[in-house]
Structure 1
C-alpha cells in the first residue's frame, strides 16, 4: 500500500479516539524492558477500547533506554498488538544516526507509523530540525511518520511554519503529535497541517478543546493506566454528546490531580495496583507506593 493510502487508513482508525502513550514494563532497578509483560498491558488497553498504541514515548521512558532495549520493546509491542490496533513506534533520539537506525529497525516490523521527537537540550533552528526529520523519513520512506512536538521538555518545538514546510517536502509525513500546553499554538498547528494528515493532541487537561478545534484524536500518558474516561470522552464527542464529553473532561482533570508530582511513577503505580506488573520507572525517576488507584477509582465511580 502506498504511503498516502496508509496515512488515509490510519487517519480513519485513529479519528475520535485515544491512543495511550504506553508505559514500558521494566525489570525493577534496571533499564531493561520486561517484554513478558508487554502483551498483558497491550491486552488491557485494547480491551478498554483504545484506538491505537504509542510505544516508547515520554511516558514510555523511551529516551532513557539503550537502543537495543528500545528495539526489544518495539518488537514486543508490535507482536502483541498483532493487527488488533495500529502501533506507533517512537524512534526519536538525541543523535540523528541513532534515530535513523531505530527507524530502519522499525521498518522491518511494519508498524502503522513511526514517531520522532526533536533532539533535546540544545536549541535548533528550523533548518536543522528539517534535516533531522528528513533523515528519519529517508530511512523509512514507506512508513508514515509523525513529528512529536513537546517543547516544554525537549526545548525544541515544531512551529506552524516548519510543519507547513515539512508537509510539502515529505510524502511520508502522517502528521503531528503535539503535547503543547498552549491551546492557541495547537490551534495554529491544526490550521497549518493539511487536512489529509493527522493531528493528535497530547494536552490532557485541554483534550476536549483540542478535539473541538479540529484535532483528529488524542495521545495520552494517563490513559495507559486509566483509559476509561478518555475512551468515554472521545466517544461522546464523536456522537455529539457535548455535555457528557465535558463531564468526562472534568473527570480527567480530577484524575490528573491524583498523580501529584509523580507523573510516570504515579502512572506505573496505578497500573501495578490494577494488576498489570509494569514495575517501577527507570532508577533515576521517583516511584510511588501510594494507593493511587483506589483514589482514582472513586473519582471514576462518581463520574460514571
Structure 2
C-alpha cells in the first residue's frame, strides 16, 4: 500500500464543486461525446487562480449519473492534468454496485486523482452493515486514495447514521464527508468520528458548524463557488484566521445569495431538479459555462428555474464586490 494521496489533515479550506461542462446539444441523447474540454481546462485554472483549496466534481450536478464512462474518464484526466498538483482533485466514481465502482476508482487512481467523492449504491437502500462494507471494499481496492463520503439523504435514500460514521472512521482511507444537510445530528456525527474524518458543511453553514468543533471543522464544500469563488475564499481566510465575526458576516451574505434557490424552501423538492437548478444557476452567473444538462435530467419548471437565476445574479454581484476588494495578485494565496 502506498501513502494516502489525501489525508484528513490536508482537508482544509474551500472544496469547490464544479460542473462537468457540456457542449451545446448535450441535452440530445443522440450526442455521443458531450464534454467541453476547453471550458473544463479554463474553469479549473480560474478556480485555482482565485484561491480555492481543492476541486471536486462528478457528484450530483457534476452529472456522474449521466456521463458515459469515456466522458467521465476524459474529464477526470483534464482535471488532473490542469490542476497539476496545485490543489487536490477529487472525482466521483459512484455506480449502482461495488464492482463497477471499484473498476472506476482504479482507473481514476491511475489517472492521478487524489481522492474520490463517493456516494453509495441507491437502487435499494443500503443498511448500515452493507454501507460500511461497501466503503471498506472500495478503500481496500484503492488504498492510495482518500475517500470523501457523500452523505446526501435524498440521492442515497437516507442519512448516514451516527453509528455508521463511527464505523467509517475506522477505515483509514475515509478522510472526509460531504455533509449537505446541516442539522441536529451533526454534533453527534462529529463526536463519533473523533477527528479522524473531516465533516464538511456547505459554505453558508460553516461558521455554525465550526463553533461545534473549531479544531475539526476546518473545511467546507461549495457548489456556489462555481458562480464565482472569491467570497467563499475570503470566508475561509477569515474563519481559519480566527476572525469568526467577519466570517459569519460573509456566511450571511452567502445565505442571502442562496435565498430562493431551493424551490418552496424544500431540499427534497430541490433534489428532484438538483442537476438542472445548479447548472441553470452556474450558467446564469457566468463564471463557468456549464452548458446544457445531459438527459434524462433536462426539464425544470420555469418557476424553479427563475429562483436559480435570481440566486445567480446575487452570487455574481457578490463575487464582483469581493473581486474589486481583493487584488489579483493576492487571490491565489492559500
TM normalised by structure 1 equals 0.87
**Which 5+ residue runs of structure 2 have no aligned equivalent?**
28-33, 264-275, 326-334
| 1:1-304 aligned within 5 A | 2-3=2-3, 6-8=5-7, 11-12=9-10, 14-15=11-12, 17-30=13-26, 32-168=34-170, 170-182=171-183, 184-202=184-202, 204-214=203-213, 215-257=217-259, 259=261, 261=263, 263-271=277-285, 273-274=286-287, 276-283=288-295, 284-286=297-299, 290=309, 293-299=312-318
**Which 5+ residue runs of structure 1 have no aligned equivalent?**
none
Cα deviation for residue 42 of structure 1 reads 0.4
| Contact residue 14 and residue 53 of structure 2 kept, 8 A | yes
Give the direction of change, closer, same or farther, for the CA distance of 1:35–1:153 in structure 2 (3 Å limit). Answer: same
Give the direction of change, closer, same or farther, for the CA distance of 1:171–1:242 in structure 2 (3 Å limit). Answer: closer
Cα deviation for residue 286 of structure 1 reads 4.4
Give the direction of change, closer, same or farther, for the CA distance of 1:302–1:89 in structure 2 (3 Å limit). Answer: closer
Distance in 2 (CA, whole Å) between partners of 1:232 and 1:84 is: 19
Cα deviation for residue 233 of structure 1 reads 1.1
Distance in 1 (CA, whole Å) between partners of 2:181 and 2:290 is: 27
Give the direction of change, closer, same or farther, for the CA distance of 1:250–1:171 in structure 2 (3 Å limit). Answer: closer
Distance in 1 (CA, whole Å) between partners of 2:94 and 2:130 is: 15
Cα deviation for residue 155 of structure 1 reads 0.9
Distance in 2 (CA, whole Å) between partners of 1:173 and 1:293 is: 33
| Contact residue 234 and residue 245 of structure 1 kept, 8 A | yes
How many corresponding residue pairs?
A: 295
Superposed CA RMSD:
2.5
> For each residue in 1:87-141, what CA deviation from the matched residue of structure 2 results, as whole angstroms up to 9, or x when unmatched?
0111112222221111111110222211211222522211111222122112212
> For each residue in 1:46-77, what CA deviation from the matched residue of structure 2 results, as whole angstroms up to 9, or x when unmatched?
11110000121123121222222221211111
Give the direction of change, closer, same or farther, for the CA distance of 1:11–1:270 in structure 2 (3 Å limit). Answer: farther
> For each residue in 1:13-47, what CA deviation from the matched residue of structure 2 results, as whole angstroms up to 9, or x when unmatched?
x32x1111111101223272222211101011111
Distance in 1 (CA, whole Å) between partners of 2:157 and 2:262 is: 23
TM normalised by structure 2 equals 0.79
| Contact residue 93 and residue 99 of structure 1 kept, 8 A | yes
